[in-house]
Each structure stands twice: as C-alpha cells, then as structure tokens.
Amino acid sequence: MTFDDTLALPPAIQREALLTSVSIQKDFVDWRKGRQRYAVWVVDVDTASLRAVAHRLHDALDDCLFPEYRRQPHITLRIGGFPAAERGFDDDYTAADFSRHLDALIQARIQPFHITLGPPQTFPSAPYLSVTDPTRGLTRLRQSFPGIEPGGADFRFVPHVTLGLYCRRVPVAQVIARMAACAGLLPIPLEVRRIALMTYEASTISGPLHSVCAFDLAERRLQVLDDEAMRPLLGAS
C-alpha cells in the first residue's frame, strides 16, 4: 500500500462524488513493516505565493480539513519507496533503484521549464491546485524514471498540489464555492529548475517532507542535502 498523492481517482468517479470522503489517519503498520521513512521524487513548490494560497484555502475550509496535515506544497513525480541499501521488501527503494533513476535523469536532458499553478479543484479526499504544464515537462520527467508505474493499467498521472485532507464528508459544491476565496491569488507561474528526492515519516502520512537530495535540470547534477539520509541510497548500511 502506498500513500502517493499523484494517484488521482478516475474523472467519472470525481464527477459522481457528491460528498467528499474522509481520509484515514493512522499508522499503517502492516504496510511499513517497521521501516521508518518513505521516499518520493517531487517538484518543491513551497514558495511564499503558494503558502499564501494554502493559508487562504485552509481558512476557507478550516472545519473540513485535518489540522495535522503538515506536508509542504509539492508536486509528486514518482514514488520511490522505503530507502534501503538492498531489497528486503518489494517496495524498498534501493541503492540500485536510485542509481538507475539518477542515470535516467541525466540521460533525459530535460531543461528547466515553466508551469502554472491554479485554479483550486478537489479530489474526493483532498483539495488541490491544478497544474498547467504546456511543454509537458512534468510528464517527461515522470516518464524518464525507469520501472513499472504504480497504480496499474488504469493509472492516470494528474499533476497537482495537495492542500490538505478532508476530515469529514462535505458537499463538493460547498467546497468548490468556498475555494473561490483563493481566486485573487491565482494563477501562480513557476519555473521548474530542479527536482528533489524527499522523505516523510511513514507512521504519519500527513507529516512534513524532508529533503534528501536535489537534481539540477540545467546542470544535470545531483546535490546531496542530507548525508545521513543518503547513506542507504549510496549502498551504505
């Protein structure tokens, strides 16, 4: 089981969902099997402009969202897994996996590109900012990662910025009306110059992200941001 917020529900389900759904907030011990952190490749969009939108939306939906949600604004590109020097479980993210992904990013030669964030929309379980990607840079980055896509044959990549998780069932029409409070702060243009490998505490799926390393698109170079967290991904136990 994974908790990647790129796994959007099919559009038909979104249209038919008249009420939001309540996200499950618990420690999924059978999933993490004692492992502590889970890694994902993301575009970090935690800017002052985006934080202003998030705060405005949280105020508008205050009674509908879990207050424990502390994840920074980001766009998930690809699930990694549980960092490990060698594979013990199918969903471990090993040094060999990381090396293949890094090599693929270098070979892809994807240059910095521009995206636009907004307007706000909603999945059944979470409000989010839609992402306009005119050059398909996000899709090209995602496709550069080798390996099987999570989610199976019906998976559809929907770039977005999750802004919280619903704590109760609310009419979707009401949510959409409330989100209009953010209209004056959108859209937000953004240049994507690098992507990051981040991890979160697996026992708390709404917790903050921690930066492990970043890949500069223009220079095709990796910058290590946390030496200790990088150890298993470099083959050290």
Q: Can you give the pLDDT at residue 1?
A: 39
Q: What angle do CA 131, 199, 58 make, to 5 degrees?
A: 50
Mean per-residue pLDDT pooled into runs of 10, the chain (237 residues): 43 62 92 96 96 93 92 95 94 95 96 96 94 96 80 72 94 92 91 98 93 98 96 84
In the chain, % of residues over pLDDT 70: 89
Of the candidates 148, 209, 142, the one whose C-alpha atom is nearest the C-alpha of residue 3 is 209
Q: Can you give the pLDDT at residue 208?
A: 96
Q: Can you give the pLDDT at residue 150?
A: 57
The model carries a pTM of 0.90
Give the total number of structural domains in the chain.
1
Percentages helix, strand, coil for the chain, rounded to the nearest 5?
A: 30, 30, 40
d(CA 172, CA 190) in angstroms, rounded, equals 28
Q: Can you give the pLDDT at residue 190?
A: 97
pLDDT tens per residue, range 89-148: 999 999 999 999 999 999 999 999 999 999 999 999 999 999 999 999 999 999 999 876
Could you tell me if residue 1 is inside a domain? no
Q: Can you give the pLDDT at residue 4?
A: 44
Q: What angle do CA 64, 66, 70 make, to 5 degrees?
A: 135
For residue 67, the domain's CATH number is: 3.90.1140.10
Could you tell me if residue 67 is inside a domain? yes
Could you tell me if residue 2 is inside a domain? no
Partners of residue 43 on adjacent β-strands: 75
Residue whose pair of structure tokens reads 């992200």 in the numeric block: 209
Could you tell me if residue 128 is inside a domain? yes
Could you tell me if residue 4 is inside a domain? no
d(CA 109, CA 54) in angstroms, rounded, equals 32
Q: Can you give the pLDDT at residue 8?
A: 46
Could you tell me if residue 39 is inside a domain? yes
Q: Can you give the pLDDT at residue 182?
A: 87
Q: Can you give the pLDDT at residue 147?
A: 74
Q: Can you give the pLDDT at residue 5?
A: 44
Could you tell me if residue 5 is inside a domain? no
- CB neighbour burial string for 143-174, b if at least 16 within 10 angstroms, e if fewer: bbbeeeeeeeeeeebbbbbbbbbbbeebebee
Could you tell me if residue 145 is inside a domain? yes
d(CA 77, CA 83) in angstroms, rounded, equals 17
Q: Can you give the pLDDT at residue 235?
A: 81
Domain extent for 210: 11-234
